[in-house]
Structure 1
Amino acid sequence: MTFKVALSFEDGVTRFINCGPTETVADASYKARINIPLDCRDGACGTCKSLCESGTFDGGDYIDDALTDDEADAGYCLPCQMVPQSDLVVQIPTTSDVAKTAAAAHPATVTSVERLAEGAFALTVELDDRAALAFLPGQYVNIAVPGTDQTRSYSFSTGADANHLSFLIKYAAGGAMSEYLAQHCAVGDRLELTGPMGSFFLRESERPLLLLAGGTGLAPVLSILETLAAAGTSGRPIHLIYGTSLDTDVVYTDLLDEYTTRMPGMTWDLVVSDPDTVHPNSGYVTGLITPEHLHDGTADIYLCGPPPMVEAVRGHLDAEGLQVTHFYYEKFTPATTPATTETAATESPTEMADTATASPEATATETTETNTVAEPEPAAVEGGDVVVVPDEGESSPAATVPPAASTAAASRTSHVARPAGVTTLISRRPGDPLAAIEARPDGYTAPAPGLFPAATTAEPPAGIAARPDGYVTPAPGLFPAASGAPAEPPAAIGARPDGYTPPPVTLPPGATTTTPTPFSETVTSGPGVVSGEIHPAISHSDAQFDARMALELGAVELTMGKLDRAQLDEFRMLAESANQYVDGDRFLDPAQFTAANAQFHEFLFRCTGNDALLQAYRMLEVTQVMNSVLPDARWVSEDIVPEHLEIVEAFESADRDAARYLIRRHTAHAKATMRTAMDRQVVGAAS
């Protein structure tokens, strides 16, 4: 039996919760994510003192200092002690906003604004309280546009530990933020950032990395690279493919080169979709993806681009039969109203106007602003080709994008260089002569994004390694055997018994003899942005458990040291609530444990104020399977109960390393519990 408890707040809002016959109102409230005032939870402080308007209850144990006899006679109660005996109406002495957790606002001052190219700005700010904002490399914030009621969303282009924070922003004529940066922004301006936002971020892993970025979609990739470099990453294989529409859109090539010196395992390629590009690679990002970049499917892929680019990459991997274990993407949808008329629209963190970076990333007129490439024009997809149809009056011609696999991979050579002393936009069309590649002086250190000072002296040109005469770059995926290498002798075929006749095999049209591994996709969305991750199904791989752990480790980074006393008390209460349904290595009530355990594990995500992270966690296949399988389970790892409390203790002592270790260990024990429950379920279904 459960009772319904109405929590009536001072601002007129009433929230209803269900409370069990042995459960306190406070515990039921926190399980329902309603943070009523609470401190000691022992009936000693009186912080939670409330008035019960109707219903009967057991008042529990408390001291007079917390609740006097006269107050109890008048109907006052302590929700941390009271257990309902009927439905209740309780007046809570605070407003309803205590039940809400939202992303925090962070005031900041502009320290630098620079136009890097025709279509890109670098904005750098200093926060009033840098320690108050923790973010994961790849995430974004919403920035209020001064003088308007509008906000725009931009991914960080600096590392998670940077003192000054930078953003790579796409310029779109007429856009609210674009025109502010182009005409009004000055050092000293005040801005307000809200966040962090998004579920696209670098997961903890030692696996090889393949990073794919289009236009100013390079921003979150730069944040990822800086975080890796600052952590001392060295031998880990990292490859970046960076694509733009035009040569004049190319930015930060010197910074990318610098990362290859800071991280010896890193390489990168540039591709420009304009066929008249002076760079060696003309085409799309997919044309430069080779099997070696995927490391037999073990590489983690991070892709930031417009929807056509994301779908083109996915289609390319499928068409080539290239399966991956961990694939993370973020794609951005266009703003649908002009900047002059839209009301408080939030544009995507990496809005793609330089969309010609993968098969369907055809050249598009830049009509919206954000921090990665601009929006693709409406496209008709037919047979793998994308026909881009510009709106009336646009200057960009319609373009038919060929399948990306036809583009041969080639190594990069020269990049556009900014002449000494020039800090404003360089206007150059494809085909115009390029400045020479500049070598760096001894001891040169590349500055962080958005902090490029004007050059004072020209640097001598660096020599470029020459290829042998007659060298031809092989097409992606076509790796001929080494010249002169002996052919491998065929393996002997085992003899069949006399009279053996192989059975006939008949395949239906289009059928194959191999069954692809099923995959599970998690998708979250917000205003102007769609993020997702793809992993093998839980029935075929443990990758889902790793994905769940990676999200939890991210939540640790965002919340460690930032929880107040009430939140820590709630965290402990949720751990104890789940633990009461376990005795040693067996479930006392697996269904109740599953519900309480879900609340415990979701707690940190709720504390981030980032709904996308919470949804990404909930939507993982492993989380959904856990909620469906565990209610019928019998065995549980006996380490689960103590680990719940140890994780809470790690947060109470602000011990990040302990929390990370415990979550990894807890994942291993959760995996064992889940696999056992799933195996028993399969056996039960077969019997």
Structure 2
Amino acid sequence: MSFKVTVEPSGHEFTPGADEAILDAALNNGLAFPYGCRNGACGACKCKKLSGDYDYGENEPMAITPDEQADGIILTCQAIPRSDMVLEVKEITSNKEIEVKNVPCRVESLDKLSHDVIRMILKMPDADEMQFLPGQYIDILLEDGRRRAFSIANAPRNDSRIELHIRHVEGGDYTGYIFNEMKEKEIIRIEGPHGTFFLREDNERPIVLMGGGTGFAPLKGILEHCFDSSNSRPVHLFWGVRAKEDLYMNDVAEKWANEYAFLTFTSVLSEPKAEDNWEGKTGFVHEAVAETYPDLSGHDVYMSGPPAMIHAAKDTFVAKGLSLDNLFSDSFDFANDK
């Protein structure tokens, strides 16, 4: 039997599956509940039960005192609803509310998505899943002290694994190593999450997502979060690359646009090849956005990709009425590996 959980003061509602912990169900429904270890030991997920019944199944609540339990405090990572419940939870709305971690992780898989893009899946330690907001990034920490930043390409519900899209930079030492030498099961150290580029969910404005190249990665994470959270805001994804071969997950984006009524997808080629037989949009991706939306005054715009694209788009979009308060960007500046 399933029971509804209502969250105050946000008014969010979700229904956990049979014997599913409240925290797991909240994350699966796109809600940003606070948490840490997810095994009842740290207490970061504590919240107040306003009404309803629950139990901890076969688990012993370690990070909670009898006095706290008497006051209605529960651990959402362990508590299982046994009736409809109302909880008072301070949901996370800012990157400042999330702990930045420095942890080792294992390279679980390396999949070549195109001639110059690899998808890397990192498996987090069981006791150190990384909480993050959709769109943030992590740093890979190199042995010589250098850092390499990569956007997280999956939704927060998949916090035991981090998905990265890595483009091979010509002459780049580390990206060359990833493409030519790195093996699965290798252990690397990462730090994160970082960044203020994440989805704002405090309004109902339509959303424009614009990515250039592997700037698609954080937008993928944002979209997957929208799918989890029953998003009702219109979303238009624009993805700009040079040629058709650079649309390394085009089939995925097209599938999403067919499945979700709120999502529109437009791909744009700046230098299509003759063999592409391209009949879609051409030119610069920010110009395609401006052509489609001559008035951006009522929109939120998220853009990620090369610095030149970000700078050109900013001026163009402001001229189309976009408020700088509603413009969020992630500029992919390449570190000097050479």
TM range (shorter): 0.5 to 0.7
Asked if 1:152 corresponds to 2:148, the answer is yes
Question: Does 2:186 align with 1:189?
Answer: yes
Residue 273 of structure 1 and its aligned partner are, at CA, apart by 0.7
Deviation track 1:259-287 (CA, whole Å, cap 9, x = no partner) reads 22442110011111105353222211122
- Tell me the SS of whatever aligns to 2:298: coil
Note closer, same or farther for the CA distance 1:175–1:130 as it changes in structure 2 (3 Å cut): farther
8 Å CA contact retained: 1:244, 1:250? yes
Q: Residue type of the partner of 2:105?
A: A
Tell me by how many angstroms 1:119 deviates: 1.7
1:219 corresponds to 2:239:
no
Structure that is richer in helix per residue: 1
Q: What is the DSSP-based 3-state SS (H/G/I as helix, E as strand, rest coil) of the residue aligned with 1:109? A: strand
Displacement of 1:254 after TM fit? Answer: 1.7
- Does structure 1 residue 231 correspond to structure 2 residue 229? yes
| Match status 1:141 vs 2:170 | no
Q: Which residue of 1 aligns with 2:257?
A: 260
Structure 1 contact 300–327 (Cα < 8 Å) conserved = yes
Aligned residue runs from structure 1 range 163-174, under 5 A? 163-174=160-171
Q: 1:102 to 1:254 in 2, by over 3 A?
A: closer
CA shift digits 1:518-559 (9 cap, x unpaired): xxxxxxxxxxxxxxxxxxxxxxxxxxxxxxxxxxxxxxxxxx
Aligned to 1:114: 111
1:311 positional shift: 1.8
Tell me the residue number matched to 1:404.
none
For structure 1, the 5+ residue unaligned runs are: 1-100, 340-687
Name the SS of the counterpart of 1:289 in structure 2. Answer: helix
Matches within 5 A, 1:295-334: 297-321=297-321, 326-334=326-334
1:492-534 per-position Cα deviation (integer Å, ceiling 9, x unaligned): xxxxxxxxxxxxxxxxxxxxxxxxxxxxxxxxxxxxxxxxxxx
Unaligned 5+ segments in structure 2 are 1-97
Separation (CA, whole Å) in 1 of partners of 2:320 and 2:205: 21
Q: Equivalent pairs: percent with the same residue?
A: 27
Partner Cα separation in structure 1 for residue 198 and residue 317 of structure 2: 21
Residue pair 1:247, 1:278 contacting (<8 A) in 2 also: no
1:278 maps to 2:277: yes
SS in 2 for 1:135: coil
Q: Residue 241 of structure 2 is aligned with which of 239, 244, 252?
A: 244
Contact 2:297 2:320 in 1 (8 A): no
**Which amino acid in 2 is paired with 1:119?**
D
Query: Residues 239 and 302 from structure 1, CA distance in 2 versus in 1: closer, same or farther, beyond 3 angstroms?
Result: same
Q: Return closer, same or farther for 1:130/1:152 CA change in 2, 3 Å cut-off.
A: farther
Question: Structure 1 residue 318: deviation in Å?
Answer: 3.9
C-alpha RMSD over aligned residues: 2.5
Deviation of 1:164 (Å):
2.2
Aligned partner letter, 1:287: E
Kindly provide the amino acid, as one letter, of the partner of residue 114 in structure 1: D
Distance 1:117 1:325 in 2: 35
- Equivalent-residue separation in structure 2 for 1:143 and 1:273 (angstroms): 31
Tell me the TM-score normalised to structure 1 length. Answer: 0.32
Q: Which residue of 2 aligns with 1:589?
A: none
- CA drift at 1:221: 0.5
Q: What is the Cα deviation at residue 112 of structure 1? A: 0.7
Where does 1:632-651 land on structure 2 (aligned, <5 Å)? none
- Aligned in 2, Cα 1:112/1:323: closer, same or farther, shift over 3 Å? same
| Structure 1 position 323, deviation (Å) | 5.3
Q: Which has the higher contact order (CA 8 A, sep 6+)?
A: 2
Q: Offset of 1:243 from its aligned partner? A: 0.3
1:56-113 Cα shifts (integer Å, max 9, x gaps) = xxxxxxxxxxxxxxxxxxxxxxxxxxxxxxxxxxxxxxxxxxxxx9832122111110
Larger radius of gyration: 1
Alpha-carbon distance in structure 1 between the residues aligned to 2:217 and 2:294? 22
Aligned residue number for residue 269 of structure 1:
266
Q: Hey, what's the Cα distance between the residues in 1 that align with 2:269 and 2:281? A: 6
Partner Cα separation in structure 2 for residue 322 and residue 194 of structure 1? 33
Distance 1:275 1:308 in 2: 19
Q: CA offset at residue 185 of structure 1?
A: 1.7
Partner SS, residue 282 of structure 2: coil
Q: How many residue pairs are counted as aligned between the two chains?
A: 236
Q: 1:179 to 1:296 in 2, by over 3 A?
A: closer
State the distance in 2 between where 1:130 and 1:290 align: 46
- Which residue number corresponds to residue 206 of structure 2? 208
Read off the aligned partner of 1:213 and give its amino acid letter.
G
Whole-angstrom CA distance in 1 between matches of 2:272 and 2:309: 18
Is 1:178 matched up with 2:182? no
Contact 2:110–2:184 (CA<8 Å) still a contact in 1? yes
Q: Hey, what's the Cα distance between the residues in 2 that align with 1:102 and 1:131?
A: 11
Inter-partner Cα distance in structure 2 for 1:289 and 1:212: 8
